[in-house]
A and B are shown apart, each in its own frame.
Chain A
């Protein structure tokens, strides 16, 4: 079975600091990778996703993530965080390919990010 690990459970940064959140998955086949974000009081929403091609994918609000197949990783980055980035971030994976085996997402445990002014 697939599993997703997010090693940083809580991260506190000052505004303008750089961010990198780790995500590792265990699945040997083709995967689709996602980062979802939940801002305080809001729904889970998609930040970015990767299927194939350029392993560096850009998402909303200046976030990007890099897929490194050899490391089974999909780390999320942002060069300069803002107070409004305070949220919980979830990495998720499902089996890939053109249609895949349905859309059964396996989520990591999440990383709570707090950005201080």
Chain B
């Protein structure tokens, strides 16, 4: 079974530039999550989708971050404009239906460096 795919794996940009990350979840998984992991910290949930609807985006900095999952499958996360403090690994995860006892399956992450 193919895992969660993410691209790109690495990205270096200058502050105030924009950047986009892509995620393709495990086939058949209705729930998709984006996490931000800053160096030395654990992953922090940014947004959770159930199919193409947003379940939780309470920790998404909406003035600069946006995410979509238009067809309920793959998803993009965008930052515009980027700040230095956005340097982090952005993890995508998926799970079958989004129940609290489910395992979340993580992708390899996109490592972003903002200069």
> Contact at A105–B41, with CB atoms within 8 Å?
no
> Contact at A100–B106, with CB atoms within 8 Å?
no
Q: In the docked arrangement, what's the CA distance between A51 and B102, Å?
A: 10
> Contact at B48–A104, with CB atoms within 8 Å?
yes
Quote the shortest CB–CB distance from A65 to chain B (angstroms): 15
Given B42, B91, B102, which contacts A103 in the complex, CB threshold below 8 Å?
B102
* Contacting residues, chain A, for B25 (C-beta < 8 A): none
* Contacting residues, chain B, for A92 (C-beta < 8 A): 42
Which B residues fall within an 8 A CB radius of A?
3-4, 31, 33, 40-45, 48, 55-56, 91, 93, 95, 98-109
> Contact at A107–B44, with CB atoms within 8 Å?
yes
Closest 7 CB pairs of A and B: A100-B100, A107-B42, A44-B106, A46-B103, A43-B106, A107-B43, A103-B98
| Residues of chain A in range 82-102 having any CB-CB distance to chain B below 8 Å | 90, 92, 94-97, 99-102
Q: In the docked arrangement, what's the CA distance between A49 and B104, Å?
A: 11
